[in-house]
Amino acid sequence: MRKLAVYALGGNALQPPKTDSSTSAEVLARVMSDVIDLLEMDWSVIITHGNGPQVGHLMELDHESIHSLESWVAATQGMIGHDISMNLQAILQRRLRPERTAVILTRVVVDGNDPAFATPTKPVGPILDSKTVMSADWDIAQTIHGPRRVVASPKPIQILELDVIRKLVELQAVVICGGGGGVPVVDHDGHHVGVPAVIDKDLLSSRLAIDLKADALIISTDADAVYSGFGTPDAKAIRQLSLAEAEAMDDAGAFPAGSMAPKVKALCSYVDSMNEGQAIFCTPGSVLDALRGEGGTTFTVS
């Protein structure tokens, strides 16, 4: 059987912050290179992606609040999934590969009483200027790139389209799903209704990888590794990080909430559940080096 990798791509990687010199086209090209490398190694691939900058931009344009937050999550699943699918499908056809792409609108059940609804932490939208920070009636938090709006980010409980995704993988599809962490829904009198939140796509990707018993969870973002002493002159890339070491760094405040913290938590959760799986944090275009332990950060049990 082919190995299965869940490749989680950050929304900031697809739409880099203003401080980043990369363009979205350049980043997407590196992502496509990673996916093709995995396919040529005889892996099956599921792609998930963030949507923070994109969903925030659409919310800004929706001055009359015609659409709910979960509707914009669904919209960005289609927009970003379409871009990834069109680019990847063209490459697959040029290379005469048998795989095809499939974009799945993905709904994810959350708990309506999740405490996250009382303490928003998930960044959405662009970096805010000082005028907006002072005047906007939003929850705002400082991220590594600057101040951004934050919204509730409840934990994913169940992926409603899980069986569909599994079947598409069996049919040799590169599945693009779980965009923006999935459309958050709650059970209401026996049916599902949307709720205003954004599920963290890394935690959703970990849930997906565990449920499908994937052989690897790869979180690809704009940072090339986990660092000790990040932001200081003594910063050093960590190539292997055990669960105990990651927990100690988290307790010491090394991983900011809403950015690095959920990525580390997602990888640790996957490692804790899948002892033989590979849990990797890397930047787009470096997946082969990361799988060999020569790039990125690999999370281990001990």
Q: List the CATH number of the domain containing 124.
A: 3.40.1160.10
State the residue range of the domain holding 165. 3-300
167 catalytic residue (yes or no)? no
3 catalytic residue (yes or no)? no
Q: What is the domain count for the chain?
A: 1
User: From the centroid of its chain, how far is CA 79?
Assistant: 16
265 catalytic residue (yes or no)? no
User: From CA 40, how far away is CA 13, in angstroms rounded?
Assistant: 23
12 catalytic residue (yes or no)? yes
pLDDT of 19 reads: 46
User: From CA 57, how far away is CA 53, in angstroms rounded?
Assistant: 6
User: Nearest CA to 297 among 244, 232, 227?
Assistant: 227
CB contact set of 16 (below 8 Å; sequence gap of 6+): 22, 23, 24, 27, 222
Q: How far is CA 34 from CA 7, 98, 142, 262, 270, in A?
A: 9, 17, 31, 23, 21
User: Nearest CA to 204 among 73, 28, 57, 44?
Assistant: 73
pLDDT of 161 reads: 98
Q: Exposure string (b/e) for 217-231, b if CB count within 10 Å is 16 or more? A: bbbbbbbbbbbeebe
Tell me, what DSSP letter sits at residue 281?
A: E
H helices present in the chain, as ranges: 11-14, 24-40, 52-61, 69-94, 130-135, 162-170, 201-211, 243-251, 260-273, 287-291
Q: Which of 11, 56, 81, 258 is catalytic?
A: 11
User: Nearest CA to 71 among 123, 113, 107?
Assistant: 107
122 catalytic residue (yes or no)? yes
For the stretch 51-79, pLDDT in tens is 877 777 777 776 556 568 888 899 999 99
Q: Which of 50, 263, 285, 296 is catalytic?
A: 263
CB contact set of 128 (below 8 Å; sequence gap of 6+): 136, 140, 146, 147, 148, 149
Residue-wise DSSP of 28-47: HHHHHHHHHHHHHTTEEEEE
pLDDT of 14 reads: 67
Q: Which of 51, 52, 56, 122 is catalytic?
A: 122
| pLDDT < 50 regions, the chain | 17, 19
For the stretch 97-119, pLDDT in tens is 999 999 999 999 999 999 999 98
pLDDT of 258 reads: 65
Q: Which of 201, 258, 265, 296 is catalytic?
A: 201
